[in-house]
Structure 1
Amino acid sequence: MISKNIDQEIKQAMLAKDQVKLRGLRAIKAAILLAKTEKGGAEDLAEDAEIKILQKLVKQRKESADIYKSQGREDLLQVEQEEIDVISQYLPKQLERAEIEEIIQNIITQTGATSVKDMGKVMGLANKELAGKAEGKLIGEIVKSRLS
């Protein structure tokens, strides 16, 4: 579980005076603690729930980085990119586009999907199978292109 390793990693980053890593780890810890304390939150989160939290953190930082890039704020862009790098270390390896396309094609074949009307069914299975291994936006893009 990711949350169990984070405290130890934070201590090591503090001792090493690695501010970049420390900032990213603290963001992870804060997000996980928030999820645990939310109404109806579990004391211990399942690993897939932790992965979803980390994906959300990366997505938020990518969106911020895009904004900073468009505004020419290289200083803030660098901070976001550093945090993305730290958080991404705790996510499963992202699949290549070709691997994702192959998995989606198998799902389309299994379900017998033929048109965009079947997109919801394919997306549900694809998101379940590719959870943590691919971005939802990319999955949707591939499914839509295959069913069009």
Structure 2
Amino acid sequence: MSLKSTIEAEIKSAMLAKNQSRLLALRAIKSAILLEETSGTAHELTSDQEMKILMKAVKQRKDSAEMYVGNGRQELADKEFAEVAVIEEFLPKMLTEDELKARLQEIIAHVGASGPSDLGKVMGVATKELAGKAEGKAISAAVKQLLQ
């Protein structure tokens, strides 16, 4: 079952349960999927494209929540965090910090990186291999730390 059909089924159940916050998050996901489907030449999205859409949605909401907290608007930040929780249900399990570092050490050994000057080579491979399994900020921070 594709992500789009799963989201549509979840929207129906959220409507029946009258769960407005969940419904809002699910509709945002569906909107992003439809927008991506109609913007390109491909009509059917791959699972990688679907994961990128979900990761982008999570990142946008986390950034918004940080801004709201910084401006003293906790109620708006809570709303964003609730949407993040719903969206993360459809993402694969994220790597822990230890798992991420282990995978990155493998990538560093494979690429043959030796120092901070090889950051670009490692990041290119790491972001492709770990897409949907770790956030870009976490990957970047861990790579910088490992290459020191």
Tell whether the structures are fold-level matches, with TM greater than 0.5: yes
**Count of residues paired in the alignment:** 147
RMSD over aligned CA atoms reads 1.0
Partner of 2:94: 94
Structure-1 residue corresponding to 2:43: 43
Name the SS for the 2:42 alignment partner. coil
- Tell me how far apart the structure 1 counterparts of residues 90 and 28 of structure 2 sit (CA, whole Å): 12
- 1:23 corresponds in structure 2 to 24
Cα shift at 1:41: 3.9
Seen in structure 2, the aligned counterparts of structure 1 residues 41 and 80 have a Cα distance that, compared at 3 Å, is farther
Structure 1 equivalent of residue 15 of structure 2: 14
SS of the residue aligned with 2:92? coil
- Counterpart of 1:107? 107
CA distances 1:1-54 after superposition (whole Å, capped 9, x unpaired): 21121111111110111111101100000000111111x342110011011001
Specify whether residues 41 and 73 from structure 1 end up closer, same or farther in structure 2 by C-alpha distance, changes over 3 A only. Answer: farther
1:95 and 1:32 map into 2 onto residues whose CA distance is 24
What is the 5 A alignment of 1:66-145? 66-145=66-145
- Aligned residues with identical type, % of pairs: 52
For residues 41 and 138 of structure 1, the distance between their equivalents in structure 2, rounded to whole angstroms, comes to 32
For residues 41 and 26 of structure 2, the distance between their equivalents in structure 1, rounded to whole angstroms, comes to: 21
Q: Structure 2 length as normaliser, TM-score?
A: 0.95
The letter of the residue matching 1:81 is F
Note the C-alpha offset of 1:99: 0.3
**Aligned-partner Cα distance in 2 for 1:75–1:113:** 45
Which range is displaced more, 118-127 or 82-91? 118-127
Amino acid at match of 1:26: R
Structure 1, unaligned stretches of length 5 or more?
A: none
- Offset of residue 78 of structure 1: 1.3
Q: Is the 8 A contact 1:3 1:29 kept in 2?
A: yes
